[in-house]
Amino acid sequence: MDTSSDLIWTQCSPCLLCADQPTPYFQPIRSATYRVLPCRSSMCGALPYPSCYRNVCVYQYYYGDSASTAGVLSIETFTFGAANLTKVRVPNVAFGCGNINASELANSSGMVGFGRGALSLVSQLGPSRFSYCLTSYFSPTPSRLYFGVFATLNNTNTSSGPVQSTSFVVNPALPNMYFLSLTGISLGSKRLPIDPLVFAINDDGTGGVIMDSGTSITYLQQDAYNALRSELVKVISLPATNDTDIGLDTCFPWPPPPNVTVTVPNFVFHFDSANMMLPPENYMLIASTTGFLCLAVAPSGDGTIIGNGNGNGN
């Protein structure tokens, strides 16, 4: 489920290039409700790179991590609902039937776009709102996705405090993405010396801050990252190193020596009218190969991307 893209797609048979998945590839010939979309359809026109073959809409879709998918844009009846709930059938949902997929799917069979464009699932279903609640990575409780009235968050005290809200910001250059107004960052009780302008959207559409459920870690604009790294190195009284195995450059040997006490502070994103507090387990990780304690944040030369590794929220 990816909030920074729109296309819904799954790996389809016959598959010319597909990643491994735990379930069989979707077989269109076995479905009575499957239809390919013609080139003149509005959904075909919503693709970033539409093309046509024998009046069938053919798509190519690319992601920021060099992943891609290509195939036929189609419609199908989608069925929603857990096994113990009433199921809801929605006809004519447009999706990509992917025959050439250069993607690491991490034990899944495709992707579901939740961006603001016409092709996304949330746009096609048309709910008034949706809520994606992430549980802790190690929690046996599954993360939940709600639509419409079920997505209403009651403003009552929770384990992390009252529910807070901040408004989305529209970036005319990237209108399909969810931008936010980030004003600053704190580590523990200290507000980091970061100029709020480093989080602003530039005149050419670059920069800004997006929420991206399809990115596993957070990428901070370079100046903001430097301020965070500098303060974290001061707070954690251990020699800083990097971990080239996982591409993170703010790591510490772990566990600390017996005579050293280390307290990792909370991390806070300060948004317009809301603060998002992350405990250490939501922004630090233990590298599986080295055992280092690493900051799950990397520098970015352009904007800021808040990834799903921050968990435990909406």
Q: Residue 210 and residue 3: Cα distance in Å, rounded?
A: 9
> Does 191 score more than 90 pLDDT?
yes
| Contact between residue 68 and residue 102 where contact means Cβ atoms under 8 Å apart | yes
Superfamily covering domain 8-126: Acid Proteases (2.40.70.10)
Statement: residue 107 has pLDDT above 90: no
Report the alpha-carbon angle 152-92-13, nearest 5: 110
Q: Is the pLDDT of residue 143 over 90?
A: no
* N- to C-terminal Cα separation, the chain: 13
Mean of pLDDT values over 236-248: 82
Q: What is the pLDDT of residue 312?
A: 41
Write down the pLDDT at residue 132: 86
Q: What is the assigned CATH class of domain 168-310?
A: mainly beta
Render pLDDT for 205-235 as a digit per residue (tens, 0 to 9).
999 999 998 888 999 999 999 999 999 999 9
CB 309 within 8 A of CB 216: yes
pLDDT higher than threshold 50 for residue 313: no
Question: In CATH terms, are 8-126 and 168-310 the same topology?
Answer: yes
Q: 104 or 291: which carries more pLDDT confidence? A: 291
Residues tagged active-site: 2, 212
The pTM score is 0.88
Could you state, in order of their start, the residue ranges of all structural domains in the chain? 8-126, 168-310
pLDDT band, very low/low/confident/very high, at 294 (cuts 50, 70, 90):
very high
Say if residue 88 is exposed, middle or buried (CB neighbours under 10 Å; 0-12, 13-18, 19+). exposed
